[in-house]
Chains A and B, each alone.
Chain A
């Protein structure tokens, strides 16, 4: 966490990982903002946490299980009703495998 310099190349890489297209204008705006945010987060480095267990869940609920019972659910029509593009009983997406 010591270096807060986030480069344009790094931002390009992160935006690909996050599947978000950023315009050049957005990258120019975001870079200094991200830098100042990351610089602020450095405050965490000043804290000694060697023997501390991390908290991922605050109320100590663990592995809540239930019986796997088949229940009534959406009809096919309902399930597809919000999709931008459908055909027959399917969601339509651009090709995922190259021809």
Chain B
């Protein structure tokens, strides 16, 4: 049976009506992985034994008529920065090669508790530092639509795995666009939640005031279903917010497109945008207009400061978080050091990838004596401006529509020697992270090279149900999300 074009709900209907077993579902994906993943290299670890064991337990429950979890039979790929008990977690860095954590991240545990099945751990830039997976300490993941192109990043392995139908959904994190940008490059849907909706506990920390775990899927319906499980208060992450999680699936039709005011920020439709991307995203906006929505030109004047704010604050937080890596309690180490300081310096120097070192150095510099106010305080003030511009704009419009990435996927290697150029490709994603608000990316076109293009719908704090509803309705009158790469 071909499961590729089915939603999680549709697969569950087959499972519960006993037309298929969980073991068969898992084997379907394991077969696809062994056939296709050697070309794409989305996975660092394939968890076939764990998956088959989970499926066996689930099949036994179904056979006995016992109750099962809300994600029974849903096969997921997990970005390798989520800690998974007893399963290697590398963060795609050589630093953690062979690291088997003793505990699991909250989100992964919540999903497993609902009988979701883990099929593997996916490649990323090391510790999620990057936008293409090229910084990975292991290998570069290929874009399923064109194997000579990057899949985007940092969560490129997860996006590629969903695009190539190697799983039904995947976990990622979005600190500066690391879910939305690879979703766009690979033509899948991805949700960056409001900061504090999804727990960060048990995920290797990048920038603690930015990190937002979230989900990739083939469609918005599946995104809603999975986010329902991941969201909510976690006493192990003090920045999670205590609110009742709305029923996202039930609310998918709740927003009326008639009269919906959609803001189009002019800064997101100008330089450095590629003309083809601009035209296709405008076409998506016009589709809403045809159905009664009102397009409103708006301005978010500080957009051009987003990258600078981001690349001061995020490396600063990275340097603080990565300072905790001592090579003593877990991970790689070095021997024959004369003292503890050289132990730290040699271990970190030997195993950390270039981009990891670069960001720690930038952050340490920005936070060092004499520079703190000029960089960290200044950027934190501009952060206030960017956040305020969004919340003010969202008083006049219901939702903001914008491109995700200025370009479609680029050639592997094209930007890998120029970190600044790589950073600038986040121009349309970082401001959302600087502000902390939610945004969903979804496919709306292909360019002339048949590379996917996503757009994003941005809402105010905790308006996930609104942006998901608008996105879901778009997928009811378009079929870009149903297209599949030829593999």
Binding site for B on A (CB under 8 A): 1, 6, 10-11, 14-23, 26, 29-30, 33-34, 36-38, 40-41, 43-45, 47, 49, 52-59, 61, 64, 66, 74, 78-79, 81-85, 91, 93-96, 98
B176 to chain A, nearest CB (A): 14
A29–B418 Cα distance when bound, in Å, is 11
* Segment of B19-27, B67-75, B99-107 in the binding face: B99-107
Closest to B374 in A: A1
Is the Cβ of A95 less than 8 Å from the Cβ of B339?
yes
In-complex Cβ contact of B195 among A15, A20, A59 (8 A): A59
Is the Cβ of B378 less than 8 Å from the Cβ of A1?
yes
A14–B358 Cα distance when bound, in Å, is 11
List the B side residues contacting A82 at CB < 8 Å: 99-102, 329-331
Is the Cβ of A37 less than 8 Å from the Cβ of B362?
yes
List the A side residues contacting B385 at CB < 8 Å: 47, 49, 52
Is the Cβ of B380 less than 8 Å from the Cβ of A59?
no
Residue among A40, A82, A96 with the most chain B CB within 10 A?
Answer: A82
Is the Cβ of A84 less than 8 Å from the Cβ of B332?
yes
Is the Cβ of A20 less than 8 Å from the Cβ of B357?
yes
A-B pairs with beta carbons under 8 Å apart, 14 shown: A10-B365, A15-B345, A19-B345, A33-B358, A38-B365, A41-B375, A44-B382, A64-B238, A64-B239, A93-B340, A93-B343, A94-B339, A94-B343, A96-B339
List the B side residues contacting A17 at CB < 8 Å: 364, 368
Is the Cβ of A34 less than 8 Å from the Cβ of B340?
no
Is the Cβ of B328 less than 8 Å from the Cβ of A93?
yes
Q: Is B265 positioned at the interface, with any CB of A under 8 Å from its CB?
A: no
In this complex, the interface size class of chain B, counting residues with CB under 8 Å from chain A, is 35 or more
What string of 1s and 0s marks CB contacts (under 8 Å) between B383-427 and chain A? 111010000000000000000000000000000001110010000
Residue among A22, A34, A47 with the most chain B CB within 10 A?
Answer: A47
In-complex Cβ contact of B341 among A19, A22, A45, A47 (8 A): A19
Is the Cβ of A26 less than 8 Å from the Cβ of B357?
yes
Is the Cβ of B328 less than 8 Å from the Cβ of A15?
no
Is the Cβ of A58 less than 8 Å from the Cβ of B209?
yes
Q: Is B46 positioned at the interface, with any CB of A under 8 Å from its CB?
A: no
Supposing A41-B312, A43-B308, A85-B333 touch, asked if A20 and B360 sit within 8 A by C-beta, the answer is yes
Please report whether the interface of chain A is mostly helix, strand, loop or mixed according to DSSP: loop
A44–B383 Cα distance when bound, in Å, is 11
Please report whether the interface of chain B is mostly helix, strand, loop or mixed according to DSSP: helix
Per CB-CB distance, the 4 closest pairs between chain A and chain B, nearest first, are A58-B436, A21-B349, A54-B380, A82-B330
Is the Cβ of A20 less than 8 Å from the Cβ of B352?
yes
Is the Cβ of A37 less than 8 Å from the Cβ of B419?
yes
Is the Cβ of B378 less than 8 Å from the Cβ of A44?
yes
Supposing A36-B420, A94-B338 touch, asked if A22 and B349 sit within 8 A by C-beta, the answer is yes
Is the Cβ of B312 less than 8 Å from the Cβ of A55?
no
Closest to B384 in A: A55
A58–B435 Cα distance when bound, in Å, is 7
List the B side residues contacting A33 at CB < 8 Å: 358, 418-420
B112 to chain A, nearest CB (A): 19
A43–B304 Cα distance when bound, in Å, is 9
Given A54-B384, A84-B327, 9 more A-B residue pairs with CB atoms under 8 Å apart are: A15-B361, A18-B323, A22-B349, A41-B311, A47-B302, A47-B382, A55-B381, A84-B331, A94-B343
Q: Is B119 positioned at the interface, with any CB of A under 8 Å from its CB?
A: no
List the B side residues contacting A16 at CB < 8 Å: 345
Is the Cβ of A59 less than 8 Å from the Cβ of B329?
no
Is the Cβ of A19 less than 8 Å from the Cβ of B344?
yes
A76 to chain B, nearest CB (A): 12
In-complex Cβ contact of B337 among A36, A91, A94 (8 A): A94
A54–B388 Cα distance when bound, in Å, is 12
Supposing A22-B357, A96-B339 touch, asked if A14 and B305 sit within 8 A by C-beta, the answer is no
- B60-102 CB contacts (< 8 Å) to partner A: 99-102
B234 to chain A, nearest CB (A): 11
